[in-house]
Chains A and B, each alone.
Chain A
Amino acid sequence: MSFSPSQEAIELLDNLLPSGAQQRRRIYERVVQTVLMCTSFITVIVLFAVAGSLVPPTIDFFQEVSFGEFFGRTEWYPLFEPPAYGIWALMSATFLVMTIAIIVAVPGGLAAAFFLNQYASDRVRRYLKPTLEILAGMPTVVFGFFAVNFVSPNIVQKLWPFGEVDFYNALSAGLVVGIMILPMMTTLAEDAMNSIPKALIEGAYALGPTKREVCTGVIFPSALSGIIASIVISLSRAIGETTIVLLAAGASAKFTLNPAESVQTLASFIGFAGIGDQETDSTGYRTIFAVGTFLFIITFILNIISIRVVRRFREVYE
C-alpha cells in the first residue's frame, strides 16, 4: 500500500510554505536581532578595549620600576626627582576615604531603606524616592565643591576634636563620597528588601512583633545577599570616585590613616596626573596606567565578590 497525501494535506502544506511577504518579515527579524546583539556586545568590547589599552603601558612601567619598589614602599613621588613609586601611599588613602564613605553610606542607606520599605506612608515614599534619584543624578563635581566649600570649613574644621585639620582633608572627601553613594546604597538595599515575598513579611507581622523587630529579625536576614551586594557595589563606586576626592582631599600622596590630613587616592592620582603635563613617553606618564590597572583589578575583584555573594547567599523563594 503506497502513501498518497490527501487534498487537505497538500493545501495545508502550501499554506505552511512562506510567502514573499513572510520571507521579508523573517529577514527583517534577523536584521533587528543582529543589531540588538551588536549593541549589547558593545559593553563587552569596551571592557576589553579598556583593559587592553591599560596593559602595554603597564608592562612598560614594570620594566622600569620593580614590583618590589611598587608594592614595597610607602613613598609616592612619581613626578619628582628622584621619583618614588610606593603604591601604599595611595592605597592607604584609598582605604581611608573608602572606609569613611562606607561608614556614612551603609548605616545611612540601610536606615533609609528600612524606612522606605516598612515605615514610610505611600505619600512620603512618593516624595522621598524622586528626591533620592535627584541626589543620585547630581554631578560629582557639585559634590566636590560642596565638600571643599561647605563640609571642610564649616563642619570638619570646626568639629574635629584632635588638633589641626588640613583644609584639604580625607574626612571631608570621605563624608561627601558617602553622601554621594547613599542614594545608590539606599535604592539597591530597598530593592533587595522589596524582593522578599509579601507573604513572608505578613507571616512575620502575624506573630505580633513591632516594625523594628520585623526589620531586624526577618527583613534584614532575608535580604542579606542583596544588602551585601549593594554594599560591595557602593564600595567599588567609592573606590573609583575621583572628582570629589581630587577637589576635597588635595594632592599630597602620603602613607597615613589620619583623616585630618590631605591625601591622594588611586583614583584622584589618575585624575591629578592625567590633566597634568606629563610627557607621553615618560615613566611618570606610564605610572598613570599602572595605577589605573591596579584600580581596575581592585574594582573587578570587588564586583566578582558581589556576584559570588549574591549567588551564594541568595534565598530562593519558590
Chain B
Amino acid sequence: MNETTTPTAQSLIASSLSKGDGNIPGVNSGRAAQIVMEARDLSVYYGDFLAVRQATFSIARNEITAFIGPSGCGKSTILRSLNRMNDLIHSARVVGTVLYRGIDLYGPLADPGEVRRRIGMVFQKPNPFPKSIYDNVAFGPRVNEKFTKSELDGVVEDSLRKAALWDEVKDRLKASAFSLSGGQQQRLCIARALAVNPDVLLMDEPCSALDPIATGRIEDLMREIKSEYPIVIVTHNMQQAARVSDMTAFFSVESTGDTNRPTGMLVEYDRTVDMFSHPHDERTLSYVSGRMG
C-alpha cells in the first residue's frame, strides 16, 4: 500500500508547496516519507450547501498541524471529516479523498469505528462521561480490545501519565470525572483518546474553554506527545498556532454568489514559520497580521 501512495504523496507535497520558493528548508522530500494522512480536493456539503471546497493538505509524523481561520471557514468541518465524525450529522456529505496510510477513509474498506479508533479526537469543551476517572479512560480500551484487569490498569495509568494527569488523580481514580477542574477534564479527555492507542490525534479548539494556565499545560503536553502522535489542532488563537504548530493551514471564506452562506476554502498551507513571517497569499498576511477575522 505504501509503495503506491508514496509518489502521490510526494507530488501532493510538491503541489502544495509549489507556490513557495521550491526549496523550503525543513520541508523537503524527507517529509513525504513521514506522511500519515493526506486530503485531496476534500469538500464537505451539508445538504446542498457547500461548506468547504477542495482542501488539499497532508499530515506528517512528528508534526503538529494547525488549522486557523475566521469563524465559518470550515476548519472544524474539515477536521471532523478526517475521522468520519461528520458521519454522525445526517446531512453531511464528503466529496474528495482522505487517505490514511494509503487507505481511502471513505472507501468500502474503511469501517467508521476503526477509523475513529485510529484517528482520535479531542473536543472543544471537555466532555468526560459521567463515570469515574478510571472508567472514562478505560471505556475505549474496553470496547476495542480484550484486556485483563491488570493490563487495563496499565493502559489507564499509561494514558494518564501521557496526558500529564496521573500524579493529580492517581489517588482518586474512582472519583467522578466531574470532580476535576476544566483543565484536568480536558487532559482526561486527551488521556481517554490516547488510551485506544491512536495513530493521529485531532483536536478541535481544545483550549477554548480553558484558562491560560490550563492552556499552557495542554500545549506543553502536545509538544511532548507529538513524536508519538501527529496532531492536527483547530484553533482560533493565532498565538497558539504560532507557539505549538509546525505546519499551518489557513482557511478563509468566499461568497459564492448564489447563496448568502459563504463557502470555506483552504487558502494556504505551509510551514508555520513561513506562514507567520512571509506568507505568499495576501489574505493569509492580512489574517495573521490581525487586519482580518
Contact = CB atoms under 8 A, between A and B. Distances in A.
Contacts of B143: 207-210, 213, 217
B131 A204 contact: no
Nearest to B87: A205
Contacts of A317: 130
B129 A206 contact: no
A205 B130 contact: no
The interface residues of chain B, by DSSP majority, are classed as helix
Interface of B: 83, 85, 88, 90, 113-118, 120-121, 123-125, 127-131, 139-140, 142-144, 178, 189, 192-193, 196
Across the A-B interface, the 10 shortest Cβ-Cβ residue pairs: A208-B117, A207-B140, A206-B121, A315-B130, A203-B127, A209-B143, A199-B127, A208-B116, A213-B143, A208-B113
Contacts of B140: 207-209
Nearest to B116: A208
Max chain B Cβ within 10 angstroms of own Cβ: one of A205, A221, A222, A316: A205
Contacts of A203: 123, 127-129, 189, 192
Interface in A181-229: 197, 199-210, 213, 217-218, 221-222
Given A121-B90, A207-B120, A207-B139, A218 B193 contact: no
Interface residues of A, number: 23
Nearest to B140: A207
A205 B123 CA distance: 12
Contacts of A316: 178
A205 B178 CA distance: 20
A121 B89 CA distance: 11
Contacts of A315: 130, 178
Nearest to B130: A315
Contacts of B90: 121-122
B125 A208 contact: no
B83 A204 contact: no
Given A199-B123, A217-B139, A217-B143, A205 B129 contact: no
B129 to A, nearest CB: 6
A203 B125 CA distance: 10
Interface string A149-193: 000000000000000000000000000000000000000000000
A202 B196 contact: no
Given A218-B139, A221-B131, A315-B130, A207 B116 contact: yes
Contacts of B116: 205-208
Contacts of A202: 85, 88, 123, 127
B149 to A, nearest CB: 17
A222 B177 CA distance: 13
B117 A221 contact: no
A291 to B, nearest CB: 42
Given A200-B130, A206-B85, A206-B123, 4 more contacts: A203-B127, A203-B128, A209-B140, A222-B129
A122 B88 CA distance: 12
Interface of A: 121-122, 197, 199-210, 213, 217-218, 221-222, 315-317
A224 to B, nearest CB: 9
Given A202-B88, A213-B143, A218-B139, A207 B117 contact: yes
Contact of A208 (B124, B130, B131, B144): B144
14 contacts: A122-B90, A197-B127, A200-B127, A203-B123, A203-B129, A205-B116, A206-B123, A207-B140, A208-B117, A208-B118, A209-B113, A217-B142, A217-B143, A221-B131
A199 B113 contact: no
B129 A210 contact: no
A197 B130 CA distance: 11
Contacts of B189: 203
Contacts of B125: 199
B128 to A, nearest CB: 8
B130 A222 contact: yes
A315 B177 CA distance: 11
A218 B196 contact: no
A315 B178 CA distance: 9
Contact of A205 (B88, B142, B193): B88
Interface core residue of B121, B128, B189 (most chain A CB under 10 Å): B121
A210 B142 CA distance: 12
Contacts of A218: 129, 139
Given A121-B90, A209-B113, A204 B129 contact: yes
Contacts of B192: 203, 207
A88 B78 CA distance: 66
Nearest to A210: B113
A227 to B, nearest CB: 13
B182 to A, nearest CB: 11
Nearest to B91: A122
A12 B247 CA distance: 61
B139 A204 contact: yes
B80 to A, nearest CB: 9
Contacts of B113: 208-210
A122 B114 CA distance: 25
A208 B127 contact: no
Contacts of A206: 83, 85, 116, 120-121, 123, 193
Contacts of A205: 85, 88, 116
Contacts of A199: 123-125, 127
A209 B127 CA distance: 16
Nearest to B144: A208
A202 B144 CA distance: 17
A213 B145 CA distance: 13
A229 to B, nearest CB: 16
A210 B144 CA distance: 9
